[in-house]
Amino acid sequence: MRTAISRLSLVEPRSLRHALRLMRDEAGLVPLAGCTDLYVALNDGALRATRFLNLWPIEELRVIEPRGPVLFIGALATYSSLIRSADVRRWLPMLVSAAREVGGRQVQNRGTLGGNIANGSPAGDTLPVLAAAEATVVLGSATGTRRVPFTAFYKGYRTTVMRADELILGIEVPEVEGRQWFCKVGTRGAQAISKVVMAAVRAPHPRVALGSVAPTVVRVPKTEAALTGGASVDDARTILMSEIAPIDDIRSTAAYRRHVAGVLLGRFWEQTAAGRPVY
């Protein structure tokens, strides 16, 4: 431990409403979900906050249920609960695939969808799924609720459009028309950060989203337009490789990421062709 725990404090809200009032009244309060990133961020010096808000006991944030035209997934749904949920398996099987790829079982039992979204890592495994599914982020505050399309949620590297007084309540996933596809190329067989991760939907207007190839999760509209317009997968691949901006880092190289993104696009296209079962 490289953090002085005695200098930290934790606020325990009595309810969601209480939590939202606390977020409004206290600047700099950091909400805590499953905490799978917390101590690493504190020890790294990446997180300098000292006051935290414990969301963990708030049961209504764990709910997973269909609500009319959308599936609502509460911010505190853990990866394990996503994997077990019959509703998620039916509506968004590519989210189940993504959840299985996160960490090991221990991390899956504690890490949450809300945490993955709020963290905003460009490598977050669920984020391309939500982008390809065109989910909506439901934000709550003491003054009410607002909805932000997931594809408009990030302004830049680990930066969201959330106000300081807002909490992620959950996401709403519309029915996804088309065949879903997900693939993560990690640094090893399990417990791996992605080198490239892709989620996609095969539909008349295909949707393709990637992680680890830009400062945030991205959709690739030019590539999608090409596929919609009937371009060959080789041509679409060429467009894709110039539409993304991967970098060299400690885990991989820009050249490798660019190449593999193209490979994944080809696999998506081939594996979701008519008559081929995916899920």
Return residues touching other proteins (CB under 8 A): 1-6, 8-10, 12, 32, 35-36, 38-40, 43, 52, 54, 56-57, 80, 103-107, 109-110, 185, 187-193, 195, 250-253, 255-256, 259-260, 263
With H, G, I as helix, E, B as strand and everything else as coil, classify residue 67: strand
Least CB distance from residue 40 to other proteins, whole Å? 5
Question: Cα–chain-centroid distance for residue 92?
Answer: 13
The encoded tokens of residue 163 equal 């106000």
Return the number of the residue (40 or 152) whose C-beta is nearest other proteins.
40
With residue 30 as reference, give the H or E element that holds it: strand 30-32
Return the number of the residue (52 or 153) whose C-beta is nearest other proteins.
52
Contact 148, 166 (CB under 8 A): no
Instruction: Provide the β-strand partners of residue 151.
Output: none
Least CB distance from residue 250 to other proteins, whole Å? 5
Least CB distance from residue 104 to other proteins, whole Å? 2
Least CB distance from residue 177 to other proteins, whole Å? 29
Instruction: Provide the β-strand partners of residue 147.
Output: 138
Could you tell me whether strands 9-11 and 51-54 are parallel, antiparallel, or unpaired per DSSP bridges? parallel
Return the number of the residue (179 or 258) whose C-beta is nearest other proteins.
258
Return the number of the residue (51 or 146) whose C-beta is nearest other proteins.
51
Least CB distance from residue 100 to other proteins, whole Å? 8
**Separation between Cα atoms, residue 84 and residue 187, nearest integer Å:** 26
Return the number of the residue (37 or 165) whose C-beta is nearest other proteins.
37
Least CB distance from residue 155 to other proteins, whole Å? 26
Measured torsion, CA atoms of residues 103, 107, 109, 112, in degrees rounded to the nearest 10 = -90
Contact 184, 193 (CB under 8 A): no
Least CB distance from residue 153 to other proteins, whole Å? 25
Least CB distance from residue 180 to other proteins, whole Å? 21
Return the number of the residue (1 or 229) whose C-beta is nearest other proteins.
1
Angle of helix 233-243 versus helix 254-271 axis, rounded to 10? 150
Return the number of the residue (256 or 271) whose C-beta is nearest other proteins.
256
For 177, residues 6+ apart whose C-beta sits below 8 A from its C-beta are 201, 203
CB atoms within 10 A of CB 13: 18
**Separation between Cα atoms, residue 257 and residue 195, nearest integer Å:** 7
Return the number of the residue (1 or 86) whose C-beta is nearest other proteins.
1
Q: Where are the beta strands (DSSP E) in 80-215?
A: 136-141, 144-149, 154-156, 159-160, 167-174, 179-186, 194-202, 207-211
